[in-house]
Amino acid sequence: MCYTIEFFIMKRTLGLALLITALMACTSNKNGKLLPKFSYTTLEGKAISSDDLKGGATVICVWATWCGDCIREIPELNDLVDKYADNDKVHFLAFSDEDESTVKKSLNRFPFNFEHIVDSKEYSDKLKSGLTKHFPQVLVIDEDLNIVFDVTENKEKIYSLLDGHIQEILK
């Protein structure tokens, strides 16, 4: 079978187009989009909805108890909670797809000072940044419930980055 040079160029171009499409899907950016509405009861027994977050800055972490990067981020996230402990305009929520028992066991081993919402797969799927869900996913939400920052699978220090976004919202 004889192929023309045009065939090979078309094949390479199609392959490149598919690769670019796949990469764009994996790095989809939700910045500027509105946080999907929710209403849950936290692990601590407190009723909370997206409307309760209006007027302040919110850090949301979508995590899993088996996720090493999630566990690695917890101390920095706890430091951020400590910094804003006296500021009722800053909220910290953690969503987990796992059940209450699993999350509680992990929290006993790795204290994580966010308010926790468990069994939240349906909601956390709405937050995912790409075609598939990756952990951890950390979002910063502004006073109007717009997503202003979204990162997944972060390998860098995150405290300063999140603190900068919170400071900007609180101005």
pLDDT, tens digit (0-9, with 9 covering 90-100), for 53-106:
999 999 999 999 999 999 999 999 999 999 999 999 999 999 999 999 999 999
Q: How many residues does the chain have?
A: 171
| pLDDT score of 1 | 58
Is the pTM for the entire model greater than 0.85?
no
pLDDT band (50, 70, 90) for residue 113:
very high
Start-to-end CA span in the chain (Å): 68
For the chain, give me the number of helices (H) and strands (E)? 5, 7
> Is residue 132 predicted with pLDDT exceeding 70?
no
- 160, two tokens: 């300063």
**Closest of 39, 38, 40, 62 to residue 129, by C-alpha:** 62
- 170, two tokens: 């609180």
pLDDT band (50, 70, 90) for residue 28:
very low
4-29 exposure pattern, b = at least 16 Cβ within 10 A, e = fewer:
eeeeeeeeeeeeeeeeeeeeeeeeee
Count of other CB atoms within 10 angstroms of residue 170:
14
Look up the CATH number of domain 30-170.
Answer: 3.40.30.10
